[in-house]
Structure 1
């Protein structure tokens, strides 16, 4: 700075200025020094401009700042506006609490279940049993006028079916045999009576089925099945994680929606989509796959979205859903 001042003032002039103002902090001295510095800065302006231009080429552009009231804000490159807030400021929305519950029976089920029988009636109610009794008797009386089955006998029939599923035997006759038979099954119901009920077992009105089947492929059991699925949903509160997958129930019944899956142990059967609680393996929702009428217009991804959405629709929205593969999980969003 001294070198630059020498360009404008000689030594004698500087001494005269100092002698005229003995106090260097005087306002006049400050004005003269400020004028000298300002003129020097103006002379050196071209050099500083070139330096700034070179710096601007190398440094990134400064971030934009937008003032909104008294709160300082900063706008990112993608347009996101960040606002500085003090610690403890209440938010404008309620934060989402994590859904950390484990699966448990609903309040309604907890109040009504005190025994195994009450647990069974929680899913298959007395009203549903009366419906099965009514339509089974209707079908049987087309051949035998005085055929009859009461509710205790129907429940005994269902218990035999459950026991046969637990104790595997090669054939139906073996369940009543002396060597392989189950003593509980033998004492509950005779084999001939069991086969007689199985032959006439029905779940809907046989005289209106043809009309209902035009719009519902599952018309033979759809009403009772929807009631069963609704009871499964209302009787249990699932945990945080729910799995959705297909399950093939083997059957030799001839129907239009029978599926063939080569990777399953039993190749033919009715395919069901099942939503289960991951921890307890409880069936939260289940419905049959009845085929797609316009299969050419629906992609596989759309089919998975529809299926998983239908399975998990009645579930708590905080639950996390898992599919059977990564592709399905991506398609479900």
Structure 2
């Protein structure tokens, strides 16, 4: 990966500056180290990172600010001479080679535990491209959406896929949500693991597909799914009620924690449902879901906490 980034960056510098521009792997690693350090010390301005008062001695001693900015200006991840040709069949052509290697390294470098969480994540970007997303509910409204699978215990990114818009290769009748989960989980199936999802992904058909690969699912279900019994969709319910519906290989729990709110949770890892001996009578399936759903959320918080994104302004 480093070799590809170095070669593409040097190529771009030579083509644009028309000079004998060079960068070795040690210098590229130093550049990446400074980028990581900026996320740790959280100084938004590049100029301040090299200042005597706000800057870090490790950054100052590693590389000059001018050289860091020069490398960042030329930083590339693919051969731009062949990009237009590759872009005809690959929307992610500008980074797909490096991204594929990164995802492969994520898969092969760590063995996740029993529980894996799958969710979406929006990385801030305003680059003009056909798959840029606008999601009003996200802190960063514009960005590139990724499907992420995280280990629950460590919040390690086990696998990650970019969302590039409509997938014409998807088999007719197959849900995008099911395809995403099966692709993300493919390296980790047949090992007795459990995957936790939200109501965008969870369905009975997905639960059956995962069970056939010795993998269970635990997730909230959208009330419009066909597997939700019509009798449970009423909006007005008594407080703290629980209904359980068993189907082939899975259990659907309908929990009403309060009036005007009903939660539907599908699980293929629970054969029996128990409720707490408290006023709320919360079923164990709800407690289990709340415990295992946070993998991607915590990872997203860590990305934001240690962001390396520079603020706009002087010195950038």
The TM-score range, normalised by the shorter chain, is 0.5 to 0.7
CA 1:293–1:287: 2 relative to 1, 3 Å:
closer
Q: Please point out which of 141, 158, 164 is paired with 2:38.
A: 164
Aligned residue for 2:201, secondary structure, equals helix
**Alignment partner of 1:198 is 2:198:** no
The CA distance in 1 between the partners of 2:60 and 2:32, in whole Å, is 14
Q: 1:186 aligns with which of 46, 50, 60?
A: 60
- Mapping 1:132-147, distance limit 5 Å: 132-142=5-15, 143-147=17-21
The structure 1 residue matched to 2:188, chosen from 275, 299, 315, is: 315
Q: How do 1:41-56 residues align onto structure 2 when only pairs under 5 Å count?
A: none
Pair 1:176 & 2:17 matched? no
What stretches of structure 1 move > 6 A for 4+ residues in a row?
A: none
- CA positional deviation for 1:160: 0.8
Q: What root-mean-square deviation, in Å, do the aligned CA atoms of Structure 1 and Structure 2 show?
A: 2.1
* Equivalent of residue 245 in structure 1, options 101, 119, 136: 119
Q: How many residues align?
A: 203
Q: CA deviation at 1:294?
A: 5.8
Distance in 1 separating the partners of 2:18 and 2:56? 30
- Report the Cα offset of residue 196 of structure 1: 0.6
**Secondary structure, counterpart of 1:169 in structure 2:** coil
Between Structure 1 and Structure 2, the one with more helix by share is: 1
More contact order relative to length (CA 8 Å, sep ≥ 6): 2
Is 2:91 aligned against 1:217?
Answer: yes
- Deviation (angstroms), 1:135: 0.9
TM-score normalised by structure 1 residue count: 0.57
**What is the Cα deviation at residue 293 of structure 1?**
5.1
Supply the distance in 1 between the matched residues of 2:104 and 2:186 (Cα, whole angstroms). Answer: 12
Q: How far, CA to CA, are the matches of 1:232 and 1:170 in structure 2? A: 28
- 1: CA distance between counterparts of 2:172 and 2:196? 22
Asked which structure has the greater CA Rg, the reply is 1
Deviations 1:234-276 (A, max 9, x none): 1111111110011111123222211111111111111111101
The runs of 5 or more residues in structure 1 that have no matched partner are: 1-127
Report the Cα offset of residue 329 of structure 1.
2.0
Residues 21-46 of structure 1, C-alpha deviations (whole Å, 9 max, x = no match): xxxxxxxxxxxxxxxxxxxxxxxxxx
TM-score, normalization by structure 2: 0.60
**Which one has a larger percent strand, Structure 1 or Structure 2?**
2
5+ residue gaps in structure 2?
208-316
Q: Residues 1-333 of structure 1 correspond to what in structure 2 (within 5 A)?
A: 128-142=1-15, 143-292=17-166, 302-317=175-190, 318-325=192-199, 328-330=201-203, 332-333=206-207
CA distance in structure 1 between the aligned counterparts of 2:55 and 2:13, rounded to whole angstroms:
28
For 2:44 and 2:111, how far apart are their aligned partners in 1? Answer: 38
Matches of 2:189 and 2:85, distance apart in 1: 36
- CA shift, 1:177, in A, is 2.2
